[in-house]
């Protein structure tokens, strides 16, 4: 049976049961947990250092009210990085290539920042819809434009993450297919293509981490506008 290039992005099913929930819960098993020992191992020490540095850099511009989101956003970033990295392994499914999942993460968090802004400082939150010094004839047009841009934010978050990961997976599959086809006919060209595949894989590892960081960073910027 000939498979399409996009079949790898289909949500897996087994005996009529969707396995997406298992793929979302499974990454939490791999996270090291603190031990009662005086000294932790290197993996746990690196994890603690990484989380501390990320939290410090991300929430440094925010005031004390925004620091309540530290646990949620840090956990979200670690979760997204784990999903993206596990999705690069062969014969695995990447849940973050599903637009519905990414929108399910982006819309509630974005809506929470908007609700917080409307509740705590409604004047300042509504003031973002109209830049200061706007000419009177342009006021209705700018309000409409800023409102549309506000509602596009969660869509942009979800589409950005989905598009980057989907494009990377497709490139890896196409280049790997080229290596497989060229190997019996032109081994030298296949070897050069395999080197390209290795470099592309390293690039996708970086993209998997960067996109998770950008997702959480933009949420923190939206939060900064409303706290």
Question: H or E stretch including 114?
Answer: helix 99-120
Annotate 180-227 with DSSP letters as a single string. HHHTTT-HHHHHHHHHHHHHHHHHHHHHHHHHHHHHHHHHHHHHHHH-
Report the run of H or E that residue 65 belongs to, with start and end: none
- Domain coordinates of the chain in residue numbers? 7-226
CA distance 131 to 91: 50
pLDDT given for residue 8 in this prediction: 66
What pLDDT is stored for residue 3 in this prediction? 57
> In order along the chain (227 residues), what is the average pLDDT of each group of 10 residues?
61 72 77 72 81 84 81 89 87 85 92 88 78 78 87 92 90 89 87 91 92 92 84
pTM to 2 decimals? Answer: 0.83
Q: Would you state the pLDDT for residue 155?
A: 93
Strand pairing partners for 13? Answer: 18
Q: What is the pLDDT of residue 9?
A: 67
Q: At what angle do helices 139-182 and 99-120 cross, to 10 degrees?
A: 150
pLDDT at 121: 82
Q: For residue 124, what are the CA distances in angstroms to 111, 153, 219?
A: 16, 18, 18
- Our CA angle for 35, 21, 68, nearest 5°, is 55
At residue 26's C-alpha, the angle toward residues 22 and 27, to 5°, is: 140
**pLDDT the model gives residue 2:** 46
Q: What is the DSSP letter of 16?
A: T
What pLDDT sits at residue 156? 93
Which runs of E-coded beta strand occur in the chain? 13-14, 17-18
């Amino acid at each position: 049976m000939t498979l399409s290039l996009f079949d790898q992005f289909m949500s897996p099913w087994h005996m009529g049961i969707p396995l997406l929930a298992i793929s979302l819960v499974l990454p939490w098993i791999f996270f090291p947990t603190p031990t009662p020992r005086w000294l932790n191992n290197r993996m746990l020490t690196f994890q603690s250092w990484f989380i501390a540095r990320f939290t410090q850099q991300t929430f440094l511009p925010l005031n004390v009210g925004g620091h309540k989101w530290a646990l949620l956003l840090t956990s979200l970033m670690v979760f997204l990085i784990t999903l993206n990295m596990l999705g690069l392994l062969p014969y695995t499914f990447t849940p973050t290539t599903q637009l519905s999942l990414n929108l399910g993460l982006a819309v509630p968090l974005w809506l929470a920042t908007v609700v917080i802004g409307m509740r705590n400082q409604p004047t300042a939150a509504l003031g973002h819809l109209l830049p200061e010094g706007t000419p009177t004839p342009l006021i209705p047009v700018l309000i409409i434009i800023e409102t549309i841009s506000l509602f596009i934010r969660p869509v942009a978050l979800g589409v950005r993450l989905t598009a980057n990961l989907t494009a990377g997976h497709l490139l890896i599959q196409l280049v790997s297919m080229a290596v497989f086809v060229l190997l019996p006919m032109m081994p030298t060209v296949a070897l050069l293509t395999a080197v390209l595949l290795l470099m592309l894989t390293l690039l996708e590892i970086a993209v998997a981490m960067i996109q998770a960081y950008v997702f959480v960073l933009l949420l923190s910027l939206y939060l900064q506008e409303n706290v």
